Chain A
Amino acid sequence: MSAIVKLQDVRKRFGDNEVLRGISLEINPGEVVAIIGASGSGKSTALRCMDHLETIEGGSIEVCGHQLGAGKVDLHQLRRDVGIVFQSYNLFPHLTVRQNIMLALKHVRKLSRGQCLEKANRVLDKVGLGMKADFYPEQLSGGQQQRVAIARSLAMEPQVMLFDEVTSALDPQLTGEVLKVIEDLAAGGMTMILVTHEMAFAQRVADKIVFMHQGLVWETGGPEILSEPRTVELQQFVGTGL
C-alpha cells in the first residue's frame, strides 16, 4: 500500500529558529495517526506544512499525489483533497451553521443549491447538530462550533483530514462530544492526522503515534509506546501527560 502522505527530511525555519530539523513520516490510506509532543516541538508546524499553510526550506512532502516542496502547487486541488480543522474553529461568523457548510460546496465544488442543502444536512446529522443548522456560530458552545468545523471540512469529502489540537481550546466537559465525532470518522475509514494532547484518546483511536521533540521525530510506533515509552524524552513526556 503506497503512502498517501509522505514527508522526507523536511526542514522549516521561522527567521533564525529552525522549527523542523529534518522530519520523515509516512501515512497510509485509512490510517489514523496522532502526533504528540511538547509545545514548540514543531508538531503544529508539521501539520500545517501538509496543507501548504507553511512552505518548507528543505526536504519534500507528498500529499495525495501533490508535491509540496519547491515549484508550483495546484492549491485548488490540494485543498479539495485535504481538509483541516483548526484549534480555534474559524467558523465564518456572518453565516449560519448551514451556510458555513454550504459556502465551499457551492463555490468550490459548484454544486446546485439542492445538492448543497442535502450534503450539508447530511454532515450536520453525522456530527449530531442537525437542529442547530440555522443558528449562528456565536450562539453555539465551543464544542458545538468545533463539530460544525469538522462537518464543514468533511462536507468537501477530502481524502485526508488534519486536526490541529482541536480540543485544546475547549472546556473539559465539551471535549468529549468532539472526540466522539472524530472517533466515528476514524471508524468510518477516513485517513486522519491529529495533533493532540489527549493521550488516552490517542491510545484508543490511533493506529500510529508519532512523538516529536525539538523539531525531530523522536519516537514512533503503535499505541503501546504510550504505556511503554522507549526513549527517555517520551517517558518524561508521558509521565506528565497521562
Chain B
Amino acid sequence: MDSFSLIQFEYMLKGLGWTIVLSLISFALGTVGGFGVMLARVSRLRPVRLIAALLIQIVQGIPLLVLLFIVFFGVSIFGIDVDPLAAASVALMLYVSAFLGDIWRGSIESVQKTQWEAAECLGLSRWQSMRLVIIPQAVKLSLPSTVGFLVQVVKSTSLASVVGFVELTRAGQIINNSLFQPFLVFALVGLFYFCLCYPLSRWSRAMERKLNVGNR
C-alpha cells in the first residue's frame, strides 16, 4: 500500500459502522440490564441485594477483553458455539449492566432519605415512591456518570476485534500495518471517535440543563 486513498477511507468507515452498531447494542442491552441490577441492589430482600452485589463485583473485576474471550471462546469448550455478534452482545451487556447498575444504585441512595419519608407519608407505595419521586431525582444525579461511562463504552468496543469484528480501531491497525503512516491513520481514527463521543457529552449537558429547569 503506497498511500491513503478512498478505498482505505471506506474501509475505515465500515469499521466505524461496526463501532456504532456495537455501541448501540451495548447501550440498549446494558441499560435494561443495568436497571434490573439497580433494582436488585436496592431490593428490600437481603439475599437479593447480596447476590447482586457479588455479581457486580465479579463482572467489574474482569477486564472486558477477558469477558469477551470467555463468552466467545470459553463457552466453546463446553460445546456451545456462539457467533461473534451474540458473544460480543452478551459480554458487553454484562459489562455495561454491572457498571451502570452500580452507578444508578449510588444515585438512588444519594437521594435524601427524607424524600422517601415524605412520599410514603403521603400514602405512596414503595414502588410508587421509587417511580414517581426517587428515580426522577436519581436520573438527574446520575446523568454525568452515566454518559461518562457510555462514552467509555464507545471506546471499549474496540476490544471486540478479538472476536472478529473489524471495528474502527482494528481497521486503523490493519491499514497502518500496510501503510506505516501511524500519525495520519490514528489521527483519523481519533477524529472518528471524537465525532461519536462529543455529541454524547453535549447531549448529556443539554439533558442536565433541561432537568434543572426548576433550579437556577
- Touch between chains A and B, by CB atoms below 8 Å: yes
Residues of A within 8 A of B (CB): 51, 53, 75-76, 79-80, 82-84, 86, 88, 90-94, 96, 103-104, 107-109, 136-139, 152-153, 156
Q: A90-B117, A103-B132 are known contacts. Are A156 and B214 too (CB-CB below 8 A)? A: no
Bound: A171/B118 CA distance, A: 22
Bound: A153/B121 CA distance, A: 9
B132 contacts across to A, CB distance below 8 A: 103, 107
- Residue of B117, B119, B128, B214 near A93 (CB, 8 A) is B214
Bound: A90/B116 CA distance, A: 9
Bound: A65/B144 CA distance, A: 48
- Complex contact A80–B123 (CB within 8 A): yes
- Complex contact A93–B124 (CB within 8 A): no
Bound: A103/B123 CA distance, A: 10
- Complex contact A152–B121 (CB within 8 A): no
The DSSP consensus for interface residues of chain B is helix
Bound: A100/B118 CA distance, A: 11
- Residue of B125, B136, B215 near A76 (CB, 8 A) is B125
- Complex contact A136–B122 (CB within 8 A): no
Residues of B in contact (CB 8 Å), total 22
Cβ of B115 within 8 Å of any chain A Cβ, yes or no, is: yes
- Complex contact A136–B123 (CB within 8 A): no
Q: A90-B115, A136-B214 are known contacts. Are A104 and B136 too (CB-CB below 8 A)? A: no
- Complex contact B214–A108 (CB within 8 A): no
Min CB gap B78→A, angstroms: 48
Min CB gap B35→A, angstroms: 19
Q: A88-B114, A93-B214, A138-B215 are known contacts. Are A79 and B136 too (CB-CB below 8 A)? A: no
Which chain A residue lies CB-closest to B116?
A: A90
17 contacts between A and B (CB under 8 A): A76-B125, A79-B120, A79-B122, A79-B123, A83-B121, A86-B117, A90-B114, A91-B118, A104-B123, A104-B124, A107-B132, A108-B128, A109-B123, A136-B213, A137-B214, A152-B122, A153-B122
Min CB gap B169→A, angstroms: 40
Between A80, A90, A109, A136, the greatest number of chain B beta carbons within 10 A of the residue's beta carbon is seen for: A90
- Complex contact A94–B121 (CB within 8 A): no
- Complex contact B214–A107 (CB within 8 A): no
Q: B130-152, CB under 8 A of A: which get 1 and which 0? A: 00110011001000000000000
Q: Which are the 10 A-B pairs with shortest beta-carbon distances?
A: A136-B214, A90-B118, A104-B122, A108-B123, A79-B123, A94-B136, A90-B114, A138-B215, A84-B121, A80-B123
Min CB gap A119→B, angstroms: 14
B214 contacts across to A, CB distance below 8 A: 93-94, 96, 136-139
Between A79, A80, A93, the greatest number of chain B beta carbons within 10 A of the residue's beta carbon is seen for: A93
Q: B197-216, CB under 8 A of A: which get 1 and which 0? A: 00000000000000101111
Which chain B residue lies CB-closest to A84?
A: B121
- Complex contact B133–A92 (CB within 8 A): yes
Min CB gap B143→A, angstroms: 13
Interface residues of B in 62-115 (CB under 8 A from A): 114-115
B123 contacts across to A, CB distance below 8 A: 76, 79-80, 104, 108-109, 156
B114 contacts across to A, CB distance below 8 A: 86, 88, 90
- Complex contact B216–A138 (CB within 8 A): yes
Bound: A79/B121 CA distance, A: 5
Bound: A162/B201 CA distance, A: 46
Bound: A146/B140 CA distance, A: 24
Bound: A138/B121 CA distance, A: 21
- Complex contact B137–A53 (CB within 8 A): no
- Residue of A76, A83, A92, A107 near B115 (CB, 8 A) is A92
Bound: A83/B137 CA distance, A: 23
Which chain B residue lies CB-closest to A105?
A: B122
A75 contacts across to B, CB distance below 8 A: 120
- Complex contact B215–A156 (CB within 8 A): no
